[in-house]
């Protein structure tokens, strides 16, 4: 074989390139996979439910990826994530719900954790011991759409849209009341407490109360609610008293309500109305509508007076103390204790009261009549006091307030304060008494006292002698006095006759009247001289008899003066004494 032939036969043939149309088979599988993945992603996005966040204090019993969200035991979602909030005070639970639940994610929708619980409503959540805790939902359609919720720490007692009356109660303390506490009337359960919260501005506890629809008409605007938890025990002068609402209220607490005493039913209450939760049945039964406030200032110790101290009038409680304070004067360094009292006028029936009279005008009128406030004892064992209000018109009204804005009731010292003042003066009184006793002792042992006693003994002996002599001479003296009396009687008869005939014979009568008066005067003067001689030894008898005779003599002198006047003016008997001048 020649070289030329070998080269020609062994040369490779040229390749012919042909272009094919369409997709190559190798790309079919990736494209199908991408299409299936996109369809699955689209379907997943279409079926993906909304995500919400729920805040709780603790994540007790919750697990991400396991804990379910249920509504009426039907699963509607699942917990995706659990994390702490930036303040480290709460936990934020992120949950994904089914797509159909989006219309129900509104403000009134509520979430809570279902787990074993023992409370006032009984035992609940026992099924979660095996299956584990889950989040329960109370779906609602009212309210604005939201995605963040505050979870309930306690499960609600009923759905938010359940028919019935929902009101609010406010109290100063929580007491033994909790979610689920029954609300009863005449020991029949008619509702319960759905929840409570603390109001920072009012410094009070507010309870959400639900009343069943069949009993909603019993709640009026003047209905009174009180704490019926536990029992009340009272030992007083009337005996022992035990009061309890029911066995359930003793064990788990309770709230009771009733109408206001002595008041007609008011208008029906509406949803959201606020009532005051009173402390006891006794406080609710008090007639204390339209209270009136008054202030009183005390300057003595008010130990035993606290908020709630009763205010009494004639032994009847008519109010209580609302506030106790102390005020100081930096200039005089004196102190006064203002006490604000709340009284209830309805407890005193007043006849003929002016309906237009204001509380200030009534207080001003009663204070003018002697109304005063005074501290009184309430319990000698505990030292508790009471404010006693009564009328003391003999005391002066002392006002110590200035611009309190309330009518002031003057105060008077208490009985104990008056006794303390007397006790404080006892040392001075004892010192004066001791000085007096010392002076008496000194006087009794002095020489002057001995001389005085000796003189008194001598005077006594002299008096005995005078009395003996007087006994001997009493006969003539009595006879002389009887004669004087007879002469005075005769004189009176003569004067009567003179008065009868004076109009007819005035000149002669005047002459006789003068003569009679002169004679009587001489007789009296003579009797006086005789008496002086007889009673020289008896000073006391002498003084009395001499005084009587002098009075008679004075009367005779006046009679003589009258006779002289009538002699100068006889017409005075007919016309009376005119302006003729003096005597």
- Cβ atoms of 343 and 311 within 8 Å: the answer is yes
State whether residue 201 is helix, strand or coil. coil
Q: Note the pLDDT of residue 577.
A: 54
Q: What gap in Å lies between CA 242 and CA 250, rounded to an integer?
A: 12
**Which tokens in the block code for residue 368?**
């003018």
Q: Note the pLDDT of residue 244.
A: 61
- Cβ atoms of 79 and 135 within 8 Å: the answer is yes
Strands (E), 102-175: 110-114, 117-119, 122-124, 134-138, 148-150, 165-171
Q: Note the pLDDT of residue 238.
A: 46
Contacts of 153 (CB under 8 A, 6+ apart): 56, 57, 112
Evaluated on CA atoms 379, 383, 389, 392, the torsion sign reads: positive
Q: Note the pLDDT of residue 534.
A: 45
Q: How far is CA 288 from CA 157, 212, 388, in A?
A: 34, 29, 18
Residues comprising the chain, all counted: 583
Q: Give me the tens of pLDDT residue by residue for the chain, a chain 583 residues long.
A: 455 555 555 666 676 666 666 666 667 788 888 888 888 877 766 667 889 999 999 998 899 989 999 998 899 999 999 999 998 899 999 999 988 888 899 988 999 999 887 765 566 777 777 788 999 999 988 888 999 999 988 888 788 778 999 999 999 888 888 888 899 998 899 999 988 889 988 889 999 999 999 999 999 988 999 988 766 665 544 455 656 666 655 666 789 999 876 677 889 999 999 999 988 887 777 656 567 888 999 988 888 888 888 899 988 888 889 889 888 888 888 888 899 998 877 777 677 777 778 878 888 888 888 999 989 887 777 778 889 999 998 888 888 877 777 888 999 888 766 566 666 666 776 666 666 666 666 655 666 656 665 665 665 666 566 556 666 655 565 566 566 556 555 555 555 554 455 445 545 545 554 555 555 555 555 555 554 544 444 444 445 555 655 655 565 566 566 666 656 666 555 555 555 443 3
**Which tokens in the block code for residue 492?**
């009176």
Contacts of 385 (CB under 8 A, 6+ apart): 302, 303, 304, 305, 309, 375, 376, 377, 378
**Which tokens in the block code for residue 340?**
């604000």
Q: What gap in Å lies between CA 327 and CA 277, rounded to an integer?
A: 33
Q: What gap in Å lies between CA 255 and CA 168, rounded to an integer?
A: 12
What is Dmax (Cα atoms) for the chain? 231
Q: How far is CA 129 from CA 117, 132, 134, 144, 527, in A?
A: 11, 6, 11, 36, 132
Q: How far is CA 517 from CA 366, 484, 531, 559, in A?
A: 66, 14, 21, 7
- Cβ atoms of 498 and 508 within 8 Å: the answer is no
Q: What gap in Å lies between CA 345 and CA 411, rounded to an integer?
A: 20
Residue matched to tokens 């702490």? 84
First to last CA, the chain: 215
In b/e form, how buried is each residue of 393-404, taking b as 16+ CB within 10 angstroms? Answer: eeeebeebbeee
Q: Note the pLDDT of residue 84.
A: 92
Task: State the DSSP code for 152.
Answer: B
Q: What gap in Å lies between CA 528 and CA 484, rounded to an integer?
A: 11
- Cβ atoms of 407 and 295 within 8 Å: the answer is yes
Q: What gap in Å lies between CA 46 and CA 501, rounded to an integer?
A: 149
Residue matched to tokens 């805040």? 55
State whether residue 9 is helix, strand or coil. helix
């Amino acid at each position: 074989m020649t070289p030329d032939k070998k080269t020609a036969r062994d040369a490779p043939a040229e390749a012919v390139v042909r272009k094919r149309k369409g997709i190559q088979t190798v790309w079919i599988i990736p494209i199908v996979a991408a299409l299936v993945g996109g369809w699955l992603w689209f379907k997943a996005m279409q079926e993906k439910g909304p995500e919400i966040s729920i805040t709780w204090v603790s994540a007790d019993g919750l697990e991400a990826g396991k804990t379910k969200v249920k509504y009426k035991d039907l699963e509607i979602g699942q917990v995706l994530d659990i994390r702490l909030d930036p303040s480290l005070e709460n936990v934020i639970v992120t949950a994904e719900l089914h797509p159909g639940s989006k219309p129900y994610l509104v403000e009134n929708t509520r979430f809570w954790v279902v787990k074993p619980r023992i409370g006032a409503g009984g035992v609940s959540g026992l099924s979660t011991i095996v299956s584990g805790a889950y989040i329960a939902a109370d779906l609602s359609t009212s309210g604005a759409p939201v995605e963040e919720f505050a979870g309930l720490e306690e499960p609600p007692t009923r759905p938010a849209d359940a028919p019935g009356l929902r009101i609010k109660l406010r109290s100063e303390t929580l007491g033994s009341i909790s979610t689920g506490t029954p609300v009863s009337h005449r020991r029949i359960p008619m509702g319960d407490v759905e929840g409570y919260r603390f109001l920072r501005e009012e410094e009070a506890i507010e309870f959400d109360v639900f009343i069943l629809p069949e009993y909603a008409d019993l709640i009026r605007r003047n209905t009174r609610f009180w704490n019926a938890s536990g029992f009340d025990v009272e030992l007083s002068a009337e005996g022992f008293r035990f009061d309890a609402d029911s066995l359930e209220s003793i064990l788990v607490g309770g709230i009771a309500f009733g109408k206001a005493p002595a008041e007609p039913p008011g208008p029906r209450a509406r949803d959201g109305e606020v009532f005051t939760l009173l402390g006891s049945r006794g406080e609710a039964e008090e007639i204390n509508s339209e209270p009136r406030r008054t202030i009183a200032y005390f300057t003595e110790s008010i130990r035993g007076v606290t908020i709630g101290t009763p205010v009494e009038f004639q032994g009847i409680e008519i109010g209580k103390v609302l506030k106790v304070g102390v005020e100081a004067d930096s200039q005089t360094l004196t102190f006064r204790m203002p006490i604000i009292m709340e009284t209830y006028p309805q407890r005193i029936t007043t006849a003929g009261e002016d309906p237009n009279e204001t509380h200030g005008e009534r207080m001003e009128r009663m204070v003018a009549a002697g109304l005063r406030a005074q501290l009184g004892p309430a319990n000698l064992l505990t030292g508790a006091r009471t404010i006693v209000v009564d009328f003391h018109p003999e005391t002066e009204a002392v006002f110590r307030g200035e611009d309190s804005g309330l009518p002031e009731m003057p105060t008077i010292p208490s009985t104990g304060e008056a006794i303390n003042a007397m006790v404080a003066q006892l040392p001075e009184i004892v010192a004066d008494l001791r000085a007096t006793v010392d002076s008496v002792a000194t006087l009794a042992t002095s020489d002057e006292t001995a001389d005085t006693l000796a003189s008194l003994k001598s005077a006594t002996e002299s008096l005995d002698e005078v009395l003996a002599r007087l006994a001997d001479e009493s006969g003539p003296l009595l006879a002389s006095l009887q004669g004087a009396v007879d002469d005075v009687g005769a004189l009176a008869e003569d004067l009567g006759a003179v008065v009868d005939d004076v109009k007819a014979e005035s000149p002669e009568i005047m002459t006789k009247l003068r003569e009679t008066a002169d004679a009587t005067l001489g007789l009296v003067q003579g009797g006086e001289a005789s008496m002086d001689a007889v009673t020289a030894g008896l000073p006391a008898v002498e003084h009395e008899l001499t005084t009587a005779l002098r009075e008679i003599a004075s009367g005779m002198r006046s009679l003589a003066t009258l006779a002289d006047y009538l002699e100068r003016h006889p017409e005075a008997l007919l016309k009376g004494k005119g302006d003729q001048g003096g005597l």
